[in-house]
Amino acid sequence: MSLELELNKFPKRVNLKGGFSCELRPLRRTDEESLHAFFRMLPEKERMFIKHRVNEQPVIRDWCQNIDYARNLPIVGLADGKIVADATLHQQQGGWKRHVGRVSVLVLPEYRGRGLARALIHEIVEVARNIGLEHVEAEFMGDQEAAIKMFALMGFSNLLTLEDYVKDMQAIKHDYVLMGLQLKTDEEYAGMG
């Protein structure tokens, strides 16, 4: 199935815990202010784990103005018109890992514990499966225990742990953890019956 067909399935509204409902849709060019506000609202300590300098407006502007869903597909969660969560499917076009997607996810602290990350990862994994990727992986620093636990609950298994292998944005070393999930295509499911 094509990525375009997958994108046509959005926006979607999901009903989560405690009567909370959220709209999920791909990031748009016009989201720059909202996305920048989202990253500014993250605790400083957590921003250190992000691979980019997301508190800098030019970084966010570049992301919003050069959207290429085939390389990075950010699906944002919106509450009251504001971005409160983001999960991105990263793909390498060509190369050894062209059949492997990478997923990252972030939820604002006050919106956690309602199933939002779970809903976003579910959407990303479905897109990855439907466009024919064979695996999805997720990378963590060892301290991201909540995230590691959540991905394990969603079927991801530990592929690799390297002690003190990566550095956060303050150059402090952390363990590197790689988790992965093997995807089955619809055809393979049909064949299993």
Ligand X SMILES: CC(C)(COP(=O)(O)OP(=O)(O)OC[C@H]1O[C@@H](n2cnc3c(N)ncnc32)[C@H](O)[C@@H]1OP(=O)(O)O)[C@@H](O)C(=O)NCCC(=O)NCCS
CB of 11 to ligand X, least distance (A): 19
Could you say which of 54, 76, 84, 105 contacts ligand X (CB under 6 A)?
105
What residues between 14 and 53 interact with ligand X by CB under 6 A? 46
Closest distance to ligand X from the beta carbon of 187 (Å): 29
Of 31-39, 113-121, 162-170, 185-193, which part binds ligand X (CB under 6 A)? 113-121
**Closest residue by Cα to residue 22 from 85, 74, 108, 67:** 85
- C-beta of 50: minimal distance to ligand X in Å? 8
Which three-class secondary structure string do you get for 18-33?
HHCEEEEEECCHHHHH
In Å, what is the CA distance from 154 to each residue of 17, 92, 117, 118? 17, 23, 10, 8
Please identify which residue in 149, 167, 173, 184 interacts with ligand X, judged by CB under 6 A: 149
| Chosen residue from 24, 107, 124, 181 binding ligand X by CB under 6 A | 107
Continuous segment of H or E residues that includes residue 129:
helix 116-130
Strand partners, 168: none
